[in-house]
Chain A
Amino acid sequence: MRFHCITHWLILASALIASPAIAFEIENRRIYSADPERSVLRIISTADLNVFDPILRAFQEQNPGISIDYSVAGTTELMKAIYSEGAIFDLAISSAMDLQTKLANDGFVQSYSSAATATLPTWASWRNQLFAFTQEPAVLIVSDAFFTPDTIPQNRDALIALLRESPERFAGRIGTYDVRRSGLGYLVATQDSRNSEAFWRLMEVMGRLDAKLYCCSGDMIDDVASGKLALAYNVLGSYAVSQQATTNGFHIVELTDFVNVMLRTALIPVNAQNVEGARDMIDFLSVLDTRQDLTSATGLPAINTMSLQENTAFRPIRFGPGLLVFLDQMKRRNFLRNWENSLFQE
């Protein structure tokens, strides 16, 4: 199983989608048709098709008659589609909690509650509009070609010290998100900057080492596994775990100072047409914790308070208007300027 991003970009022609002017970019799209078909559920999601495929099939099995039109887009494109362009989808799934929060805050989301959503812990939903169904840590992955188990840094300070010690070893060999392109990368980076001053030092060090910038976790994992990169910082842990099932050559490190845990959320846009289907899907996702088969098939860790409490370094990102702060035009401009100043040193 491979995770595709840039390699399989499908810029779909207008004929494929009802709306004539498509400005947002769709990376991939698959239609799971049901026979007989009662309704079509149109989902826009940041989750790769390969990852989400088992969930979609299981949902369809449980709700026969619902065809699923599944489009994959980046977090920023998803935001653009719904926020700026009024694209019509029945369900939007994204791990960029801040963008999802902005959609809900600014009135692009309709409310829903049911017995299934009531089983979610309070920190896993917001306003009855955002429903989290996975908790995914942002991790460091290191290449086996560069590290033996006892040389792997366990926290950010150790990582910074290591990078400073041997710049010649790591120059051009480290990777992280390009926060300008990836909404998810931006979210993790901003939360990092809130949590620790070490973040900016790390960015400085990475900048000096000519860090490679990526749009997506999948590519970073590939490059670390193949030995092209020594390490990649802030990789989506769930992708790394599921990649590890088929690929050797890298280790996953949950840093001990803190680990940001992102919640992948689903929401129903106000202009959804198949609201019933979307609600069925949210109910289905809310109890994902009870579907061991799906969580192991997808590698997506379902919402579970117990497993969060096992590691005290886990910091689940809290929903709330605080997430809007880094989306502020001025704040974002300043943050990106600082980030670029750190990473691109002349």
Chain B
Amino acid sequence: MTPARSESATRFARRLSLSRGFSSWAVYVGKAIGWGTVLWMIGWVVVAIIAGAEVLPKFKHPISIHWLPIIFSSLAGLWLLFSASRSSTPPINLNGRDVYRLALTAEDAREVLDWPLWFARVFRFAVAFILGAVWTVIASYWFDIFTPFAAITLGCIAALTVDLEWLAYSARGTENTAARAWLNTLVLVVVASSVAGGVLGFGLASGFWNLNPLGLLPVGLLVLGVIGSRASLTAGYPPRFAAQSQILSTLRSMMLMSLVARSRPDPDQHRRLRDQLLGRVSSIRPTRSLPLPALDSSVLLAVAWRSALTMYRRPVFDQIGLVLQLAFVVFSSISTVSGVGGFLLRALALGFLLPRLVGPAMPIMSTPIRSSERSLGRTLPGLAIIGLVGVIALFVSSLLNYPLEPALLGITRTMLGLLLLEKVATWAGFASTGVEASTSASTLALVPAALLETFGVGSYTLTAQVVVMMILLLPTD
């Protein structure tokens, strides 16, 4: 096949995929949400933005703008330099078909990678353009300056990050001298224009504070970035790109699916894929392990061990974050916020915490594990952690001469929420990281307290929570 025919075939296949993808997406949105509803929502967003702009407080005297060049030049420069130092992962990923075209066919890498690079640039440009437009509105109200180029400036800076990231990625550990040269050149220009913007008032981000067409310098930088990226591809693509692209595709699919399913992606699976992406040893073998359970252990203990093992292997920062979050939830019971506000605050805090305390799901359905063993096994380590943090909370409360009941209420409520989350997720078939499951569980966990307080018998809340917990712990099979 000649290159020309190959390119036209590729374009044809891409158009076909995109049109099919777009039409199924349009049908899905039409059925799931309704296009009328979407238009209605967009209309209200526009109204909200206009109304928001109108209620912006106006000052008698505009705020001084003398510090804007330094702030914006520094921020823009640091952002671009940070992008230029991101060399471990690519800013783009390919679909399966394009990975094979890149790796297994004679096609020029530029032909394959041009589309995803442009797609990434346009996406980042569009998001940043909107933010820049918002700045234009704010600047005219607060600083009394007209900045029509802010949107284009910010859009181009955002799009340029794609090229800087790609060049940094291509230059790392390879003989790609073109990528190295273009990266160095762009970094020099970015630093110089950033300093010039801060000192002279004309430079990288001057579109944020003045009307001078020199503010459009980022457009030129973006053009240089695009030329640089294309030049770097003359030497081919980085060898690790194909494998990393496939992992990135899986990661992004996970994020997209979780968005559609209104849940958070499974954090453990996400971490494993990130480890694979970055080639960490922990993607091949664990860096931490718990002792294996004894061979005469019960099934319940085996499931609980697996749950504890998963939690134990999470990064230390995650574990510290979990304990702090748990402490906050327990101590939020002591806070004086009451009424609907207090109810919502506690439900929210609990909803964010609970999914982190449940063990991994059991995808292999033919294994002879009873639902009660699975249910309790998945929650047992979480219950133990709550108990441990609870004991510390009680100890601290007694040291500070606080009454113990609020802390006890918080502990039992969190335990109840955890049991409810596992049940709700299992019964309804939701992922335990899903918004539906965690919101339902956290709200239900607060129901005993809300009901009893409404009827003036709030002193029975602790007992009621313990009783409901006991009921949930009863085996159902």
Decide if A and B are genuine partners.
Answer: no
